[in-house]
Chain A
Amino acid sequence: MNGRDGTPAELVIRQAYVIDPTKGLDRIADVRIREGRVAEIGDGLRGTRELDADGLHLFPGFVDVHAHWRTPGREDEESVESGSASAAAGGFTGVVMMPNTDPVVDRPVVVSGLVRRVEKESRVRAYVSAALHAGLNGERLTEMRLLKEAGAFCVSDDGLGTASAGVLRNGMLYARSAGLPVILHCEDHTLATGVVHDGVHAALAGVPGSPASAEDAATATALVLAAETGAKVHITHVSTALSAALVGFFKGRADVSADTTPHHLTLTDGLVATLDGMYRVNPPLRPEKDRGGVIQALRDGILDFVATDHAPHASEEKELPFEEAAPGFLGHETAFAALYTELVLGGGLSLSRLVQAMSCSSGRWVGEGGRISAGEPADLALVDLSERWTVGRETLLSQSSNSPYLGRRLTSRVVGTIVGGHLVHDRTGAKLGVRA
């Protein structure tokens, strides 16, 4: 981890409103950090170095199980350095990097190279997801045991999915033997022939649509195979009400978890009418009834957590007619603010459930972070819930600027992000000044 120089061995964050749903912590308290870990939570704590956080909220650092840092291969769009800066700016202290890079993360040497770059460049904890099959071609399994030895945290078919159910089944069985969780992108390409959700807006605009069944059928297949193989399977970016319900059905029948994204929770396919390539994403934005179903499933815990699918793209890949634009949105820097603005203030999700879905549950999934507890690593997000800001290219630390929230006014903003006791994103000085 690349912490800032001069980070103190001890820091007391005073008078923040601390929320950690796993501990039932929901009150104003002082938190002492010592040697990278939370040492003590209490009242009236004093220290050699204090940060007056009166008026701010302190959450366990957010953990994003789905991000594309475009490294190796497209460091012009995002690098480990810029991706981790972007994550830290969004309050994330842990991130899983997806393997659909160039080259694909399908060989041990690519994994170990990435691990070294993370050690040198990343401001946050970053975990390497290797590919489930070689070249993400859906044919030959990767050397999962060797990938794990090289430092891979999990395997995934993200970006494309796995066309053959037979290959997927063998992949799950082998991953189980190798002790690796599997993150699945569920999409049936014989159904997904379009670029937007096949609904009213696709019909009216004439933009080729992919039916919801492209996701639902693939999700059903993955869940059935997960139940049969006993693999630890995580279904990522669930975007339809039916897929969420299918996940619900398989909870308890398979070792399965699932996430959805901030954009599927806050935006709908009504944006297709703009014909603006910015709004192309995969899975596509869905109609209001799916958005509602996904929110409900997140509230009920059927969907375990939120992951951003942070997908930077160069402007020349986005400033194109809709069909030709590359799919994907930036996610890290707006995730919490968009969800707090739209779902907590807008009604539909409690703040504590949002914190659980961004920190605790995803932290538990990666096995690190997601808690504010004595002895645990000090991975924390300090947030001003009252700050109003407008998302602009100049506010983004990502190397790219393809945020669907550009120009939107959001409420709540991350003020500081702490990873292992290091202040890796720091707006506290501008905000209130650190008192030595």
Chain B
Amino acid sequence: MLDLARAHARGETGSPLAGKTVCLAFFEASTRTAVSFELAARRCGADVISLSEKGSAMAKGESLIDTVVTLDRLGADAIVLRHPAVGAATFAARHTGAAVVNAGDGCGQHPTQALLDLYALSEASGGFDELTGRRVAIVGDVLHSRVARSVIPAFRATGMEVALVAPRTLLPQDSGAWRLPILSTVDEALLWGASVLYMLRLQNERMSGARIPSVAEYARFYGVSRWHLGDGVLVMHPGPVNRGVEISGEVVLDGSSLIPHQVAAGVHVRSAVLALATGAAHEVAA
């Protein structure tokens, strides 16, 4: 998948989706994911239809099942689905013959984010094989993060060691589910030997109230600042960033930040995903 993404990045793939219809169904706000899927589909030559909850019959109360069946009948080859309910993509896939690409389902999964993270990190590390044995700390609201649920297995698949860094209120009740070490501050993560800090977004609605006492305390213990950097530590974030909360403003554009590379990788990786999901590409380019 990542090799194919590299071929897309080099512009070697032509228009594998010519004549195919890709439907972007985003029933939840999205900037980078929606834009990069759209760019990916267009660069691959697909016809693109965009639906959003506001502009579609979903706003009139049409159920997800009927929306999916309608798109299927209209001839969509791929449906890229972003939905606030976990399992929405799995559910949609049961009711259509089109390829369903999960662009984020509630607190469930965000698989293309994990793939583009692997792409960006392996590019920055001198290749996929260089990732083995590196230590990555995933910092922040693991409990509500679909990104965490996708990057944890993705990082582990490369042979990286993963630790979670979060207050217990932002971890699942059974935080042993992944059998990962749980650390309690970013400083502790660096002592543990993290060479990648993967910062999760603190969602607005959870910034105050019962789960964390204050943004200031969160930023102090679970945010990354300039003094955390050095020794080649890389910082990643799926976006959008709350500057001064998870990441201080100066770190976002620091040389150790992979954030711009993550965004750039999105189009290449999603091109590869669409090509593979629709059967337009069967084999990885040599």
A residues near B, CB below 8 A? Answer: 198-209, 211, 275-277, 316, 319-324
Contact = CB atoms under 8 A, between A and B. Distances in A.
Contacts of B107: 206-208
Contacts of A209: 172-173
Given A207-B86, A207-B87, A208-B107, 8 more contacts: A200-B177, A202-B174, A203-B174, A203-B177, A206-B106, A277-B87, A322-B85, A323-B85
B149 to A, nearest CB: 5
Contacts of A322: 85-87
Contacts of A319: 63, 65
A323 B86 contact: yes
B218 to A, nearest CB: 21
A51 B174 CA distance: 56
A130 B101 CA distance: 48
B88 interface: yes
Contacts of B172: 198, 202-203, 209
Most buried by A among B63, B87, B108: B87
A239 to B, nearest CB: 16
Contacts of B63: 316, 319-320
Interface residues of B, number: 24
B168 to A, nearest CB: 12
B106 A203 contact: no
B175 interface: yes
B173 A320 contact: no
Given A208-B107, A321-B64, A203 B85 contact: no
A199 B178 CA distance: 11
B108 A205 contact: yes
B136 to A, nearest CB: 19
A48 B213 CA distance: 80
Contacts of A198: 172-174
Interface string B166-200: 00000011111110000000000000000000000
Most buried by B among A206, A209, A316, A319: A206
Interface string B232-246: 000000000000000
A275 B90 CA distance: 7
Given A206-B106, A206-B107, A206-B146, A321 B173 contact: no
Nearest to B109: A206
16 contacts: A198-B172, A199-B174, A202-B172, A204-B178, A205-B87, A206-B86, A206-B146, A208-B86, A209-B173, A276-B91, A277-B91, A316-B63, A319-B65, A320-B63, A321-B88, A323-B87
A399 B231 CA distance: 66
Contacts of B88: 321
Contacts of B105: 206, 321
5 tightest Cβ-Cβ pairs between the two chains A and B: A275-B87, A203-B172, A321-B85, A203-B177, A206-B107
Contacts, number: 78
Contacts of A321: 64, 83, 85-88, 91, 105-106
A172 to B, nearest CB: 30
B88 to A, nearest CB: 5
A324 B108 contact: no
Nearest to A287: B174
Interface string B202-241: 0000000000000000000000000000000000000000
Contacts of A324: 85
A203 B146 CA distance: 10
A203 B87 contact: no
B177 A204 contact: yes
A211 B175 CA distance: 13
Contact of B108 (A199, A201, A206, A276): A206
Contacts of A200: 174, 176-177
A202 B149 contact: no
Contacts of B175: 203
A316 B174 CA distance: 32
A141 to B, nearest CB: 31
Contacts of A211: 173
Contacts of A316: 63
B149 A206 contact: yes
B28 to A, nearest CB: 12
Contacts of A205: 86-87, 108, 149
A284 B82 CA distance: 26
A204 B172 CA distance: 9
Contacts of B65: 319-320
B9 to A, nearest CB: 30
A323 B88 CA distance: 9
A322 B91 CA distance: 9
A203 B86 contact: no
B238 to A, nearest CB: 15
A324 B176 CA distance: 27
Interface in B48-79: 63-65
Contacts of A208: 86, 107
A323 B149 contact: no
Nearest to A196: B86
Nearest to B179: A200
Nearest to A199: B174
A207 B177 CA distance: 13
A198 B85 CA distance: 17
B156 to A, nearest CB: 13
A201 B108 CA distance: 11
B140 to A, nearest CB: 15
B121 to A, nearest CB: 22
Interface in B80-101: 83, 85-88, 90-91
B106 A323 contact: yes
Contacts of B176: 200
A201 to B, nearest CB: 8
Nearest to A202: B172
Nearest to A208: B107
Contacts of A201: 177
B91 A203 contact: no
A322 B63 CA distance: 14
Nearest to B176: A200
B106 A320 contact: no
A116 B103 CA distance: 53
A204 B173 contact: no
